[in-house]
Amino acid sequence: MPRAEPGTPKWLANKMKAKGLQKLKWYCQMCEKQCRDENGFKCHRLSETHQRQMQIFCQDANKFMDDYSSMFEKEFMRLMKTKYCRTRILANTVYTNMISDKTHIHMNATVWVTLTDFVLYLGKTGKCKIEETERGWYIEYIDREKIEREKAFEQRKKIEYSYEELKEKKINEAIEEAKKTGKFIQSEYTGLNKKSDEKIVISSIKATRRESSASKAGVNVLIAKALSKGEEGKGHVADSLPDKRFSVENDVVKGAAKKRPLSSIELLLLENEAKKRVTNTAANLKNQQNSHSEMEEKQQEKDEKGNPPTGKQYSWLCKNIVVKIIDRKHKYCNHKGVIVSVPSDERDKCEIQLNNSEKKKTSAHQKQLQTVIPKIGRHVLILRGQYRGLRGEVKQILPDEESALVAIFDKHSGKVTTEERLLFDDISKLHER
């Protein structure tokens, strides 16, 4: 019987019948098709489409089972996280809510045979708290993100608490050190001394703030003066600060904080801060000088590499290397030969023994010559750079980059020490007798 065309009354009737959930045993997960009765499911199993899908399934059954299982678990945990978070609920209730969606992944396509097996899996992996009762399995979602947030908060709290303890410890150490050196002045409390006709004036909070700001301003001025003096030398300021402690105290008391003099602890802290700032200033100046000198050296090396000396100051000519004459005005243009001698007074000129001729010799300037690159496996002599004068073997030729990969031999042992990529102008074929 042909299938009903879309839009016809028969098609609409079939859609209305198929609306809602059907029996699970008549559902094919591979084809994602729900049959309404046993006869329809039997016909579907015998169809060509189902047979092709089953052949694909048999090729790698474990892969399909794992994929369906992960999809089922992901959907179940999404429902637990969003709808049943922080709630102890029956597992069957969550499963019923999940399968209410017609397009859900059926459990018969997963590795779990029953819902109990799936609940035990959630408890074993620590994703949910499980509890077995007379009514069934109860589950409760474990919020891992909340646990991580709480751990981070506790750790941050410990760090802040340890910082406060460290600060208090430093203050106590400063007090003990001041007591040992005799610079600590214990505060003394006296009674109220006033005349009978004298009025008692209580200052407001605003006035106290003004005084404290004035005292801070005076202290900042003194520290700035100490730092300005410290630019002349680190040791000079470090030695002068302890001697002038009492003068600093007098200046602060007279100028900015007449009503509230600084205590010994505050003076010690100010001295320590001034010393640290002077030390840091001197260290920064030294680091800047070192970095500046390093930059100048690097720039000088870069300039030397980028602009090598020319003429008599620099010559790449060496004996026993093969060169090619490229000057068209030369008598033996495009001829190759071996350099047999290089005059000591004129390093940019040489005498060349032409190839295939034992008697013919000619002289040429290095501007008229070009280096010769041998085949792979042949030996070359390095003419420029840090490996000048060493021998090497050509491993790879890169014509597009006008360079070659050369294995460099040690001068004494003759073993390969390193491999470098050198330009064609920096190497030349070595004449092997």
The Cα–Cα gap between 309 and 315 comes to 9
Residue range 218-252, pLDDT digits in tens:
545 545 554 555 444 444 434 444 444 444 445 54
Q: Which of 76, 110, 142 is the endpoint of a domain?
A: 142
Q: Which of 87, 113, 142 is the endpoint of a domain?
A: 142
Does pLDDT of 157 surpass 80?
no
Nearest by Cα to 416 from 382, 390, 386: 390
The Cα–Cα gap between 292 and 286 comes to 10
Non-local CB neighbours of 397 within 8 Å, separated by 6+ positions = 373, 376, 404, 405
Q: Torsion angle of alpha carbons 271, 273, 279, 284, nearest 10°? A: -150
Average pLDDT over residues 183-209: 62
Phi, psi (deg, nearest 5) at residue 378? -85, 165
The Cα–Cα gap between 63 and 57 comes to 9
Domain residues for 348? 317-372
If asked whether residues 41 and 129 sit together in one domain, one would say yes
Report whether 425 contacts 367 (CB < 8 A). Answer: no
Does pLDDT of 423 surpass 80?
yes
What pLDDT does residue 357 have?
A: 65
Residue 117 forms part of a structural domain: yes
What pLDDT does residue 142 have?
A: 87
What pLDDT does residue 161 have?
A: 72
Residue range 248-302, pLDDT digits in tens:
445 544 444 444 566 767 777 888 888 788 787 877 777 777 766 676 666 555 5
If asked whether residues 363 and 416 sit together in one domain, one would say no
Residue range 66-103, pLDDT digits in tens:
898 999 999 898 888 888 887 888 989 998 888 877 77
In percent, the amount of the chain with pLDDT more than 90 equals 6
Residue 272 forms part of a structural domain: no
Q: How many residues does the chain have?
A: 433
Residue 365 forms part of a structural domain: yes
Non-local CB neighbours of 215 within 8 Å, separated by 6+ positions = 252, 256, 257, 260, 262
Helix (H) or strand (E) holding 340: strand 336-341
Residue range 28-76, pLDDT digits in tens:
888 878 887 888 888 988 898 888 888 888 888 888 888 989 999 998 9
Poorest-confidence range of 230-244, 366-380, 404-418?
Answer: 230-244
- CA dihedral sign of residues 12, 13, 14, 18: positive
